[in-house]
Amino acid sequence: MLAKAIKRSRIVRFLIDLRLTVVCLALLFVLTFLGTVHQYSFGLYSAQKEYFESFFTLVGGLLPLPGAQLVLWVLFVNLVAATIYRFSYKAKRVGILIIHGGLFALFFGMFFTQYFAQESFLELAEGEGRNVSTDYFHWELAVWDADAATRRVAAVDLADLEATGSVRIEEYEIELALERVYHNAEAYMTQAEAGERERLNSSGIGLFQELRVSSDPQENFPGVLATVSGAGARVPLILYSRDLAPTSFLLGERRLSASLRRKAYQMPLTVTLQDFRAEFYPNSDVPASFESDVLVTAPGSDRTVRISMNSPFRFEGYTFYQASYRIDATGSEWSTLAVVENRSRLVPYIGTGILGLGLAVHFTQVLAKRTRREGARNAA
């Protein structure tokens, strides 16, 4: 009774309407096309922010459209509603039903990845080991005790700090205040202007020149003017994202280090690059393959792993991929591994499997039906 009433309600009738599906598919089509063209001028990151991960977008700054996220959510609700109220659950429709079940899995995988997966990278020189990976886009201000035997780092996300202006770090009993952020800057050695206190920097930087912020966030190198206060003293700092070394200073009795660095993520294991090899096709600089031998150290485990193109290494929801490499001026080889933490990575696989199964069932059903029909006609 109630179910029927719900089914007749206007909102449900709207949500299960096939025309809503058509409108959403059309919008998604338009957004995908616009986003793809947008990439040509503004890069992938910008296209993702404007079209694919947004709820609303202004095309060319003029035409307002729902973003792909909104459309996908509506489409998802539409699918859920149709599953409950519209689909006919008959044996002959089972193929179509399985196909839409596969879509469910794909939607889940997509939303889960969107909101919970973490992508970062790890750049290692031969012989180097790390247990933190670094973010592609985000920066953080990190402070630690310069003299302590084990480094305990207190870090604040630059974007958060920019929003709040200052933050208190209890561990070192200091206050970190942000005075100015240059989102993309060039650094100069020039001394501070008259009347201004000299700011500390390990590389001798004294001045930033603001640069245009690139649409590709990997091309932006920020700098900050910040003040650390605590133990009755104030230390003005100038920190650059390309500083060669952290800046150390005395605050009361304690010597602290600070640096502006890519946001770091703790990993449950340490990865040490033992050997990197790149093979090239004969007489050319086209790489035929590249691979890294790494030593993986985790509590209770210690082994060598080979990571190469198309053959990643997986560990507890983390996956390590051979992404690229470089050879620096001194001739040492650096290997870049992409690190992805995604606990739902198998969901799209399952969705693909279900969808394939559904299509197979559907086609078999259609074929069987045709054969039956033709058989009946021949008999007649």
Partner 1 sequence: MRRSISGAAARRAVVAALLVGIAALGGTQDAQEQLDPLRTYARGELRLDSLVSLKPILIVDNGRTMPMDSYARNLLLRLSGRRSYQGMVPIEWLARVLFTPGEVREDTVFLIENPEVLVALGLDASEGRDRYSLAFVLDGIEELERLAAQAGQISEDARTLVDREVLRLWNNVGVFVNVTRTMAFTYPDPAFAVDQAGAAARLGLPGANTYSYLDIALKQAVVREAASAATSAHTGSGEFSPADQTMVRLAQNLALWRETWSGLPLPVLPVASFGEVTWLSPWQALDARNLSGQAGEHVAAIEAELLTLRDMQIAYLEGRQLRFDLAARSLAESVRTRMAGQADLPDPRLEVAYNTIDPLARAELIFLLGAFALMAWLVAPARDRRPLTAESSGSGGNGGGAQVALPPLTNGQHANGWRSTLRRRLGLEGGARPLFARIALWALLIGFVPLTAGILMRMAVSGRPPVTNLFETFVFVAWAAALGGLIYARLYRNLIGPAVGIGGGLLMLALSGKFGADGDTLPVLQAVLDTNFWLSTHVTIITLGYAACVVAGIVGRIYMVQLARWPERERDFEGVYRNLFAALAFGLTLSFIGTLLGGVWADQSWGRFWGWDPKENGALLIVLWSALLFHAKLAKLIGKFGMAAGSALLTIVVMFAWFGINLLGVGLHSYGFIDGVLTGLVAYTFAEVAFVTVVGRIYRSRRRASLASRTSTAPSAPPTAVEPAAEPEVVGAGGGRDRGLPV
* Contacts to partner 1 by CB under 8 A: 17-19, 21-22, 25-26, 28-29, 32-33, 35-37, 39-40, 44, 47-48, 52, 106, 109-110, 113, 117, 119, 280-284, 286-290, 309-310, 312, 319, 321, 323, 338-340, 342, 345, 348-349, 351-352, 355-356, 359, 362-363, 366-367, 369-370, 377
Pick between residue 56 and residue 363 the one whose CB is nearest to partner 1. 363
The CB-of-124 to partner 1 minimum distance in angstroms stands at 17
Nearer to partner 1, 203 or 352 (CB): 352
What string of DSSP letters covers 74-140? HHHHHHHHHHHHT----GGGHHHHHHHHHHHHHHHHHHHHHHH-EEEEEEEETT-EEEEEEEEEEEE
Length of the chain (residues): 380
Closer to partner 1 by Cβ: residue 51 or 172 = 51
Cβ proximity to partner 1: between 203 and 308 the closer is 308
Report the nearest approach of partner 1 to the CB of residue 290 (Å). 6
Nearest distance, CB of residue 126 and partner 1, angstroms: 19
Question: What is the Cα–Cα distance from 96 to 78, expressed in whole angstroms?
Answer: 16
Contact indicator for 295, 274 with CB cutoff of 8 Å? yes
Structure tokens at 191: 């001394």
Name the packing angle between helices 68-85 and 18-47 (round to 10°): 150
Question: What is residue 232's three-state secondary structure?
Answer: coil
Coil/strand/helix, residue 274: strand
Question: Cβ of residue 344: shortest distance to partner 1, in angstroms?
Answer: 10
Closer to partner 1 by CB, 40 or 89: give it: 40
Nearest approach in angstroms of CB 248 to partner 1 is 36
Nearest CB to partner 1, comparing residues 208 and 318:
318
CA-CA distance, 48 to 317, in Å (whole number)?
24
Distance of alpha carbon 236 from alpha carbon 37, whole angstroms:
45
Residue 22 tokens, joined: 């058509």
Q: At closest approach, how far in Å is the CB of 12 from partner 1?
A: 17
